[in-house]
Chains A and B, each alone.
Chain A
Amino acid sequence: MNKTINQKAWLFVIPVFVLVAFNAAIPLMTVVNYSFQETFGNNVFAWEGTRWFKQILLSERFHAALGRQIAFTFIILLIQIPLGIGIALTMPKKGWGVPVCLILMSMPLLIPWNVVGAMWNIFALPDIGFLGYTLNAIGFDYNFTQQPGDAWFTTILMDVWHWTSLVVLLSYAGLNSIQPAYYQAAEIDGASRWAIFRYIELPKMKKVLTLAILLRFMDSFMIYTEPFVLTGGGPGNTTAFLSIDLVKMALGQFDLGPAAAMSLIYFFIVLLVCWVFYNLMMKNEARS
């Protein structure tokens, strides 16, 4: 759409600007403030320069948490995106199945995150949970509170349960926007199922899929509540992702300086990846 230049449009944006600035800028300044100083309580501060940043960037604890975070996000994307597309492709396109699928599949998205954690906790407990009990009954030695491998497995399964539907709904919407004429043309040409997917469906889903990847990257990179309730970051520190580690440092040990420095580094990483994505997306949009 060709937009007219109108500086008065700023008046419309002011409420949003004020509300978000109030919420984002002021607290962010506090974080920046802490990240360069040492606090002694009672509002006494000493300038520390970049000491906390160096400390965090060189600390093994941060490297380990970041490593776990990247591994987690990578696995999540690798499972959820193909699975989501697959389910969207096989979903009914009309009839009573559509609302049933949509409602039931949206359910996990609307459950408070700590309830998701708690639900999976009691679902996976080896003695009283369905998952844990069944796995042990068929011969696996499964206990997610004791064994790191099982804890990872459970956390990933929980996230797949929680968020795959988002990818499904997005892909489904993308598929629905394809005109029937495309399929008819493909049929006349005798295109194989794979060719239809590769040359018609996938390109049409490109936009929503970029969005799905962006959202899943952001949210899985920021994940806190669900693994915190499920495993508490344990056993040991094996499932302590970045946010869990950060909250431990800030609210648990009250190491404000290092925690603030870590916050900024953390925020910066998310921002960088999203910026790249955002630009890719806008470029796509401009082209189409």
Chain B
Amino acid sequence: MKKYKWLIPTLYIVFLMLPIYWLINMSFKTTTEIINTYSLWPQKFTTENYVKIFTDSTWYMGYVNSITYTVFNTILSVAAALPAAYAFSRYKFLGDKHLFFWLLTNRMAPPAVFALPFFQFYSSVNLFDTHIAVALSHCLFNIPLAVWILEGFMSAVPKELDETAYVDGYSFGRFFFKIFVPTIAAGIGITMFFCFMFSWVELLLAKTLTATAAKPIAATMTRTASTSGYELGLLAAAGTLTIIPGAIVIYFVKNYIAKGFAMGRV
């Protein structure tokens, strides 16, 4: 029994990798080959799908747009959440519990509910089709998440740290940035990871709030369905490329993921 324990995670990983392999497999085939022949690996290996994406600005700008608003949203969410999480972890104040739950309810709001009002709202303030609009709209679910995770990390830091610093004559600002932030650096890293992740994978709002100038790659991909039937090879290549930023981010936080979840907060 114990000897075969490794079998279960291995089978699970194989199951996870199969569709990803199939996507990569298709990305190196021409669309004609995909439609006409079934094969486990490319018969005529081609990189023309990737070449097309990297030379056509409507394609690669999709990546630039997605990364732009994702990074902007991550910075904004964490910057706003830091002081708030500190307040929640250290102080009692009027309405704190209600405020905390209200924040969480926004993580629970189905994006489909907000799609139309967001469209109208951002159009009326002339932010439609900008990176800022998408980054701001993603704050809806990322800020509550960031506050929640950071509050967990901050509560694990004993309050004596604050008090000792004040006794040593630190001002609040100096204490916060010189001592407190470095102490919870791992927590901030994990928070950024989750903000990045949820902003990167979200499409409904990003698609609703953009037309051309800030169109995310995920929305650009839906274009392949329109003109000359499905350009499956191109679609597969674009999909494969969307996996890469996530894979890079995971690689950097791999040692912290389990610890972050251990906070029981995400």
> Which chain B residues numbered 225 to 246 have a C-beta less than 8 Å away from chain A?
232, 235-236, 239, 242-243, 245-246
Q: How far is the CB of B17 from chain A (nearest CB, A)?
A: 7
Q: How far is the CB of B122 from chain A (nearest CB, A)?
A: 9
Q: A9-B91, A115-B221 are in contact. Are A108 and B16 (CB under 8 A)?
A: yes
> Does A139 touch B at the CB level, under 8 Å?
no
Interface contact B16-A12, CB-CB below 8 Å: no
Complex CA–CA separation, A224 to B200 (angstroms):
16
> Does B173 touch A at the CB level, under 8 Å?
no
Q: How far is the CB of B164 from chain A (nearest CB, A)?
A: 16
Q: How far is the CB of B257 from chain A (nearest CB, A)?
A: 6
Interface contact A123-B254, CB-CB below 8 Å: no
**Stretch of B42-50, B111-119, B179-187 contacting A (4+ beta carbons < 8 Å):** B111-119
> Does B6 touch A at the CB level, under 8 Å?
yes
> Which chain A residues numbered 256 to 285 have a C-beta less than 8 Å away from chain B?
256, 259, 263-264, 266-267, 270-271, 274-275, 278
Complex CA–CA separation, A90 to B7 (angstroms):
8
- B-side binding surface: helix, strand, loop or mixed? helix
Q: List the A residue with the shortest CB-CB distance to B224.
A: A118
Complex CA–CA separation, A8 to B121 (angstroms):
32
Complex CA–CA separation, A69 to B95 (angstroms):
34
> Does B99 touch A at the CB level, under 8 Å?
yes
Interface contact A112-B89, CB-CB below 8 Å: no
B245-266 vs A, CB cutoff 8 Å, 1 = contact: the mask equals 1110111001101111110111
9 extra A-B contacts, CB within 8 A, seeds A114-B222, A119-B20, A247-B204 = A1-B159, A101-B9, A110-B246, A110-B247, A114-B203, A119-B239, A122-B34, A177-B262, A267-B109
Complex CA–CA separation, A268 to B135 (angstroms):
26
Interface contact B101-A110, CB-CB below 8 Å: no
Complex CA–CA separation, A271 to B12 (angstroms):
33
Report chain A residues within 8 Å CB of B221.
114-115, 118
Q: How far is the CB of A189 from chain B (nearest CB, A)?
A: 19
Report chain A residues within 8 Å CB of B265.
211
> Does A113 touch B at the CB level, under 8 Å?
yes
> Does A213 touch B at the CB level, under 8 Å?
no
Complex CA–CA separation, A142 to B90 (angstroms):
57
Report chain B residues within 8 Å CB of A97.
6, 9
Report chain A residues within 8 Å CB of B81.
16
> Does A208 touch B at the CB level, under 8 Å?
yes
Q: List the B residue with the shortest CB-CB distance to A275.
A: B101
Q: A20-B143, A112-B242 are in contact. Are A122 and B22 (CB under 8 A)?
A: yes
> Does A218 touch B at the CB level, under 8 Å?
yes
Residues of B within 8 A of A (CB): 5-9, 12-13, 15-20, 22-23, 26, 34-35, 38, 40, 76, 79-81, 83-84, 86-94, 96, 99, 101, 103-118, 120-121, 136-137, 139-140, 143-144, 147, 155, 158-159, 197, 200-204, 208, 217-219, 221-222, 232, 235-236, 239, 242-243, 245-247, 249-251, 254-255, 257-262, 264-266
Interface contact A110-B197, CB-CB below 8 Å: yes
> Does A135 touch B at the CB level, under 8 Å?
no
Q: How far is the CB of A258 from chain B (nearest CB, A)?
A: 12
Q: How far is the CB of A186 from chain B (nearest CB, A)?
A: 16
Interface contact B80-A15, CB-CB below 8 Å: yes
Interface contact B110-A122, CB-CB below 8 Å: no
* Central interface residue in B96, B217, B250, by most chain A CB within 10 Å: B250
> Does A79 touch B at the CB level, under 8 Å?
no
State the 5 A-B residue pairs at the shortest beta-carbon distance, nearest first.
Answer: A110-B246, A27-B117, A173-B261, A12-B87, A9-B91
Complex CA–CA separation, A211 to B15 (angstroms):
25
Complex CA–CA separation, A211 to B265 (angstroms):
8
Report chain B residues within 8 Å CB of A113.
201-203, 218
Q: How far is the CB of A194 from chain B (nearest CB, A)?
A: 12
Report chain B residues within 8 Å CB of A176.
258, 262
Report chain A residues within 8 Å CB of B204.
224-225, 247
Interface contact A20-B140, CB-CB below 8 Å: yes
